Structure 1
């Protein structure tokens, strides 16, 4: 049964009868599409044209441009550099020429007269290798596509969580510049979406103590480097209209492979409406005055 349907073979020889013999032999054993060239230039035109050639059988002794020159050009062109080339020659039989053939990029160097079965086996070997490589590439592409879809789904899921959580989320760089904010943060601070990006965190945030606010990023970075996270800090957001929004604040540092802080994640819960209970004291009466 013939195999390799869909494969494309280019045979190059300046003698028509050699092309006929080779074409007939291949067609007896394989269901491949065969292209023929009678010169190096014609071979280049076919290999660099619209056809996707899978394998080239190339004669060496040709006028104007020999097989070595043809192979050298094929191997420097992006479209043809990965096409396997089998040299088939009756003239250049010495070890020196064989080495030259491998040096210019051939995968095989066969000498005439050659056994028909040997040639067909050689061609089949390279078609099988190409077939296997394509199968592996297909499997890899499917895995990459599946992984990409999985990551995209996870990213979308995370973005949905960030978008819909009830707490404000701000992501800062180590200099305290806001590089990301979720919709809750914009709503809490009364800013238009996107307008927080590039602002300094100190423009929209103040801590309870003035000295903490004054040493804002320095204090943060020292603490974050030391413990990695600062949680449940009473603070205030400064809204666009200068309103002070009481918040319960947490800050977490993200470090890179060198242990340096790359991002600071800030999460704030709006504490508006939460009233701290004051200690209850019994009213003083005349009966219990000292």
Structure 2
């Protein structure tokens, strides 16, 4: 049973009868597509036009552009540099020429007269390696696709949580500027997200007994650098119309590998209803 259907083999030799011999030998045992060239330049033209060539069998002794020159030209081109080359020669048999063949990019260097079994085994070896590489690439591509789908699903799930969570979420840069806000934050502050992204946290947030505007942010950074998080802080959001919205506030630092703060995540729970309930209870107690 013939193998390697779908593979492409380019054979290059300036003698037509050598091409016929190679073609007949390979087609007897392999179901491969064979392309032929009778010169180095023709081989270059074919290889550049057809990037799907899997292997080149290249005669060394050719006029005008010999096999070594042809291989060098193939290896400097992006489209053809990956194609393995098997050199065939009847004249250049010394170790020096064999070494030159490997230096210009050949993967094998075989001598004429051709040993049929040796050549077929060499071709089969490289086709099997290519098959294995393609199988591994398919497995890798499948795993990458699966992982990409998992990450996309997880990202969508996280975005849904952030979008539908009841608490306000603000992401700040280390300078305190708002980089993103979820819908709950926009509703609580009565801003659209685009307008919020023009503001700093000091424009929409205040704590009790602030001595000067923005001073709290420096304190934040110092505390976040030390602990990484501050939670359950009673504070107020400043809405677009100036209303003060009582909140229970938490902030967490996201640090890089150098322990430097990259982002500050702020989560706020609207405490308006709770405050009103406490005030009513307190008033009732005083009335008694």
TM-score by length of 1: 0.95
Provide the C-alpha distance between the structure 2 equivalents of 1:168 and 1:224, rounded to a whole number of angstroms: 20
Q: Does 1:135 align with 2:135?
A: yes
The 5-angstrom pairing of residues 122-161 of structure 1 reads 122-161=122-161
Partner of 1:266: 266
Q: 2:59–2:89: 8 Å Cα contact kept in structure 1?
A: yes
Deviation, 1:213, is 4.9
Partner of 2:89: 89
Deviation, 1:115, is 1.1
Question: Residue by residue, what CA displacement relative to the aligned partner does 1:107-156 show, whole Å, maximum 9, x if unpaired?
Answer: 00111112101100000000000000000000000000000000000000
Q: 1:175 to 1:115 in 2, by over 3 A?
A: same
TM-score by length of 2: 0.95
Q: Does 1:176 align with 2:180?
A: no
The 5-angstrom pairing of residues 274-285 of structure 1 reads 274=274, 275=276, 276=278, 277-278=281-282, 280-281=285-286
Q: 1:251–1:264: 8 Å Cα contact kept in structure 2?
A: yes
Q: Does 1:45 align with 2:49?
A: no
- What secondary structure does 1:82 align onto? coil
Provide the C-alpha distance between the structure 2 equivalents of 1:19 and 1:74, rounded to a whole number of angstroms: 20
Question: Residue by residue, what CA displacement relative to the aligned partner does 1:48-87 show, whole Å, maximum 9, x if unpaired?
Answer: 1035100000001111111111101111111111100000
Where do 5+ consecutive residues of structure 1 fail to align?
A: 284-290
Q: 2:11–2:37: 8 Å Cα contact kept in structure 1?
A: yes
Q: 2:51–2:79: 8 Å Cα contact kept in structure 1?
A: no
Provide the C-alpha distance between the structure 2 equivalents of 1:221 and 1:159, rounded to a whole number of angstroms: 27
Partner of 2:166: 166
Greater Cα shift, 133-142 or 271-280: 271-280
Partner of 1:287: none
Q: Does 1:24 align with 2:24?
A: yes
Partner of 1:55: 55
Where do 5+ consecutive residues of structure 2 fail to align?
A: none
Q: 1:212–1:219: 8 Å Cα contact kept in structure 2?
A: no
Provide the C-alpha distance between the structure 2 equivalents of 1:198 and 1:114, rounded to a whole number of angstroms: 76
Q: Would you identify which runs of 4 or more consecutive aligned residues in structure 1 move more than 6 Å?
A: none
Partner of 1:194: 194
- What secondary structure does 2:253 align onto? strand
Greater Cα shift, 230-239 or 122-131: 230-239
